[in-house]
Each structure stands twice: as structure tokens, then as C-alpha cells.
Amino acid sequence: MLLSINNLHASINGKEILKGIRLKVDKGEVHAIMGPNGTGKSTLASVIAGRDVFEVTSGDIFYKGKNLQKLPVEERAREGIFLGFQYPVEIPGVSITNFMRTAVNSLRKYKGLDPLSGGEFIRMMEEKKKLVEITSDLTNRSVNEGFSGGEKKKNEIFQMAMLDPTLAILDETDSGLDIDALRIVANGVNKLRTKENAFLVITHYQRLLDYIVPDFVHVLFEGRIVKSGGKELAVELEERGYDWIKNEREG
């Protein structure tokens, strides 16, 4: 099992957000996490990535058989966990080129590989940019600075392609995208799917799942996964809305 989350409880500033998550993800699988706003979807993504503002109060996360609890953010990333941010951060003065070169070479060092030469790195960048149809000038700009919503999300997928993760968590990558950008982003993801990696796609809407077809769909509600099923569950949610789940819970 690639990722195994057991009875995970997490809180921020003393407020419990995740109240006993159980989830298993294996290689080659795409899992969609759906649910209304404010139920803990982004928190789950952040906790897996190791963001320290959240406190894990009980339960655990195993990834490649390792307990993640003690692993800092960068170690998790080097072990192959990638988080596509819902709101990618603008970092003025850091060019995407320097940022990615530092990141790629950090990963390579961790794996005991030599750093890429300038030429090799440029070739790699050119190749991965095509995947998300990025026009050339994007890469010489500061990270996300002045990017449109669509550019930011494309840039996330571009980074994912550069880092070639084993587990990619995409946190509402579809939010703020028009249909063309959505198609480009989804195509990028589909091209990166292999038997060796897995995706956790967090989304509010079913729309993205028309393009990235999941193997499993989970509904997160009030900090717990309350329903799991196949891709048809997403369609049902789209038709019936989340109230149906709420009513089922309360009833």
C-alpha cells in the first residue's frame, strides 16, 4: 500500500478539523476526494504534505511503509509526495528556473544522483513545459508573480512533471479555471499517470473528473470520509448535491 491513513485527527489552533480519516491509496490509482466547502479537504492535503500549522492529535499516516509523523516537509517531498496548491504562492525575485533547478537537484541529491547540468536542465524544462502547453517566457518570470489563475495552475502541473512524484495531491486544481485551461491541466495529469504513481484529486465539482477519471471517489464531510465508491458516485453527487449526504448523516 502506497498511502495508508488510519484514524487521523488533526487540528489547528485547538480546533479539530480532521476527525478520524481512514484512506488507503495504492500505486496506479486515482482517488478523488469530494465534499462541501470547509469540511477538511485542504487540511487533509496539507497534513499529508507536512504543514506544521496543523497538529496531528491522533492516528497516523504511513507512506511507502514509513510513518510520516516525524518527517519534515522537504523529506516528504523528496520521498515523492507532491502537493499542487489551491492558491500557489507568489514569490517575487525567485525565478521559476532557479526554483525548479534547486528543487530538482535537491531531489537528485537525495536519491544519490549528480545534479543536472545547465543544458540537461533546460532540455528537461522544455520537454515538461510542452506537457501543459506553457509558452516559453513563463519560465523566466518570478514564481507565480503576476500569473493569471490559469497560469498558476498550469505552473503547478509543470512543477509536478519536473519532480515526477509518486503521490501527487492536487488541491482544487480546477478552481478558477476556464474550460480550456481545465482541459490542458487535466491532459497534463493524464499524461503523467503511470502504474507506479498515484493521485489524490481534491475537488468540489465533478467537472474535473470528466477529464481525470478516478478509480475511487470519497466524500469528506465534517472531517470524516462518510461515503466511498467508484466514479459513478461523483456523477450522483453532481446530480443530487451534497445535501443528500448531509441528510443521510443526520437522518
SS3 at position 186 = helix
Nearer to other proteins (CB atom), residue 157 or residue 219: 157
Q: Rank residues 21 and 168 by Cβ distance to other proteins and give the closer one.
A: 168
Cβ–Cβ under 8 Å, residues 96 and 154: no
Give the nearest distance from C-beta 196 to other proteins in angstroms: 18
Cβ at position 12, least distance to other proteins in Å: 13
Strands 55-63 and 66-67: antiparallel
Please give the residue ranges that form the binding site for other proteins (CB under 8 A).
49-51, 53, 72-74, 77-78, 82-83, 85, 88-89, 91-94, 97-103, 105-107, 110, 115, 118, 121-122, 142-143, 159, 163
Residue 107 or 198 having the CB closest to other proteins:
107
Question: Where is 21: in which H helix or E strand?
Answer: strand 15-25
Nearest residue (CB) to other proteins, 85 versus 216: 85
Q: How far is the CB of 50 from other proteins (least distance, A)?
A: 8
Q: Where are the beta strands (DSSP E) in 64-188?
A: 66-67, 81-84, 91-95, 142-143, 167-171
Supply the minimum distance, in Å, between the C-beta of residue 139 and other proteins: 11
DSSP-H helix ranges across 3-141: 41-49, 73-78, 96-110, 118-131
Classify residue 201 by its DSSP letter. E
Give the Cα separation of 205 and 173 in Å (integer): 11
Nearer to other proteins, 70 or 195 (CB): 70
Smallest distance from the beta carbon of 116 to other proteins, in angstroms?
A: 10
Query: Do 134 and 155 form a contact (C-beta atoms < 8 A)?
Result: yes
